[in-house]
C-alpha cells in the first residue's frame, strides 16, 4: 500500500512539474520586447515570433526566470559581435535547459543591430547564450551547404550602448581559457519582458 502511494505521488509530481515551471512569456504577442539593463546603459530588443517562434519562446523563458540577471557579456569582438547570456559574475557557467532546434533558415539575416543565438559547431546546440551583431555578418547566415546562426530580433533602442560595448578593451581570460574577454566587466544587470503595448 505504501509503495503504491509513493508511485501515485511520483506520477502526480511528474504530471504537475511542467505547470509548476510554467512562466508567462506572452505566447500571443508576435513581437514581444525585452529591456536589457546593463552596466553601460539600456538596450531594448523587439523579438520576431513570426519568424523564430521556438527561439523567441526559449529566450523569453530564460528572461522571465531571471537566468540573465547579473550575468556577464563575455565575448566582445569589435566589428563582429557582443555576446552574453551564459556566465554569472563569478565567471561560472549557469545551468541551462535543453538545446533548441536551429531556426536560422527563417529569412532573418545577421545584420547590424540584430540579436541571434550563439551555439556550438553542431547546429542544434543553442541554449541561453545570445549575441548582438555590431556589423553586417551575413557569413553567419545559412547557405545551401550549412546551417547558420538564428536571428530572432533586433535592437529598437540603445544602439549607442551596443556600439560602446563593441570597442571595450579585451584580453585572453586565463581562468576560462577564452579570448576576447572584456578587461572591465560588462554586466547584464536585469532582463525584463516589457508589458504588452
Q: Distances from the Cα of 184 to the Cαs of 27, 56, 86, 89, 171, in angstroms?
A: 37, 30, 17, 12, 10
Q: Which of 82, 56, 51, 84 has the alpha carbon at shortest distance from 70?
A: 84
Give the per-residue pLDDT at 103. Answer: 98
Q: Grid coordinates standing for 24? A: 508567462
Give the per-residue pLDDT at 165. Answer: 98
178 bridge partner residues: 173
Distance CA 146, CA 35 (A): 32
Checking phi first, is residue 90 left (phi over 0); if not, alpha (psi -120 to 50) or beta?
alpha
DSSP states along 80-131: TEEEEEEEETTS-BPP--------TTSS----TTEEEE---SSTT---S-EE
Residues 134, 78 contacting (CB under 8 angstroms): yes
Q: Grid coordinates standing for 159? A: 544602439
Give the per-residue pLDDT at 197. Answer: 74
Question: For each of the chain's 197 residues, which pLDDT tens digit applies?
Answer: 444 444 444 443 343 334 335 789 999 999 999 999 999 999 999 999 999 999 999 999 999 999 999 999 999 999 999 999 999 999 999 999 999 999 999 999 999 999 999 999 999 999 999 999 999 999 999 999 999 999 999 999 999 999 999 999 999 999 899 999 999 999 999 999 999 87
Give the per-residue pLDDT at 23. Answer: 86
The string of pLDDT tens digits covering residues 17-55 is 343 357 899 999 999 999 999 999 999 999 999 999 999
Give the per-residue pLDDT at 4. Answer: 45
Amino acid at each position: 500500500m505504501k509503495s503504491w502511494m509513493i508511485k501515485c505521488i511520483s506520477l502526480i509530481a511528474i504530471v504537475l512539474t511542467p505547470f509548476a515551471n510554467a512562466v508567462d512569456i506572452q505566447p500571443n504577442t508576435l513581437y514581444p520586447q525585452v529591456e536589457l539593463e546593463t552596466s553601460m546603459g539600456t538596450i531594448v530588443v523587439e523579438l520576431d515570433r513570426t519568424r523564430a517562434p521556438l527561439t523567441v519562446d526559449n529566450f523569453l523563458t530564460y528572461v522571465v526566470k531571471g537566468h540573465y540577471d547579473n550575468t556577464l557579456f563575455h565575448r566582445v569582438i569589435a566589428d563582429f559581435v557582443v555576446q552574453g547570456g551564459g556566465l554569472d559574475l563569478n565567471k561560472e557557467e549557469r545551468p541551462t535547459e535543453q538545446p533548441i532546434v536551429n531556426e536560422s533558415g527563417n529569412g532573418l539575416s545577421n545584420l547590424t543591430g540584430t540579436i541571434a543565438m550563439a551555439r556550438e559547431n553542431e547546429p542544434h546546440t543553442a541554449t541561453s547564450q545570445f549575441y548582438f551583431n555590431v556589423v553586417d555578418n551575413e557569413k553567419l547566415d545559412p547557405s545551401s551547404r550549412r546551417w547558420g546562426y538564428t536571428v530572432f530580433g533586433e535592437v529598437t533602442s540603445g544602439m549607442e550602448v551596443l556600439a560602446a560595448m563593441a570597442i571595450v578593451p579585451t584580453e585572453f581570460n586565463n581562468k576560462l581559457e577564452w579570448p576576447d574577454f572584456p578587461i572591465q566587466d560588462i554586466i547584464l544587470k536585469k532582463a525584463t519582458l516589457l508589458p504588452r503595448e
